[in-house]
Structures are given as structure tokens and as C-alpha cells.
Amino acid sequence: MRTLADEIGTAIEVDLAVMPPHQRRAYAGLDQYRRPVEVRGVQELAKGIAESFGAFAIFDVETVLRSPAIAPFVTQTLYAIPLELRRAACDRDRLKAEGARKEMARIISAALLARYHFEPLKHVSASCHPNWEQAFEQQFGAGRGEGSSR
């Protein structure tokens, strides 16, 4: 049986796996010829990873947050990942790149789970519920902390 930690780790792995190659290289500080350049695109990547948790209420102690509210923490976590690991995720050897992406996903999910508590929205997924806002308010109430507005 899959745990919540498994679900979160898998969501991050998928985000990293489907990232366009140019975005992956930018995050690793590589140009199209794999030469070192300035790291770019970290905020966009963090936003994408945070959006993966749209079907969750995310608790920071007592405050309930929606997924965009964790993007700054994800950004910090992405910057903390060693550059060598980010570059390994761009390797031409698929197994090496996959292993690096899995390790990156493990680091990110461990950091998220250490900081936040994730609660799946009942009977809701971000892709199939027509009114996510209403479902969130029904389950967790309006005005339950500063992160309750989107």
C-alpha cells in the first residue's frame, strides 16, 4: 500500500521527469552544449512542483495553505540541491539521469514532509473537480489562516 510520502515523492519525480530538457539544463546551470552557465528557472520549477499538490491542503502548524503558498519553500529547497546532482539529472546516460532525478525528488519530498503536513482533499483531485475553491472551503473552511486565499 502506497503511503502519502510515496505519493508526494512520486508527484515530484514525475515533475522532474517531464520537465523539458532546456528547463532541466537551465536549472542545472548548463547551456544547450552542456557548458556551465548561470542557473536559471528555479522559481518556475518551484511553482510547477508546488502546483502538483493542488489536490492537497497543506498545513504549516495550524495554518492551512494551498499549493502556491509553498512555492517559496520549494524554491529554497531547489537551490539547496547540489549542482553536481542537478547536472547528473541532465546526463546522456538515462540510468544516471533517472537516478539523479529520483535522488532530487527524495530530497525535495523529505524537506516538504519535514516542514508541512499534507492532507488530501476528500473526493477531489485538481484535475477532475470543477470548483476546487468550493471543495477546499467546504472541507477546511474559509479564513482559516493567511494562506487560505488563492
- The reported pTM is 0.80
* Cell numbers that stand for 148 in this block: 487560505
Helix (H/G/I), strand (E/B), else coil: 16: helix
Supply the pLDDT for residue 122: 73
List alpha helices for the chain, DSSP H.
4-17, 21-28, 42-51, 71-80, 83-88, 94-115, 132-140
C-alpha cell at 16: 522532474
Distance CA 16, CA 136 (A): 27
The mean pLDDT of 105-119, rounded to a whole number, is: 95
pLDDT digits (tens, 9 = 90+) for 52-92: 998 888 999 888 888 899 999 999 999 999 999 999 999 99
**Structure confidence at residue 104 as a pLDDT band (50, 70, 90):** very high
- pLDDT, residue 121, reads 78
Does the pLDDT of residue 111 top 60, yes or no? yes
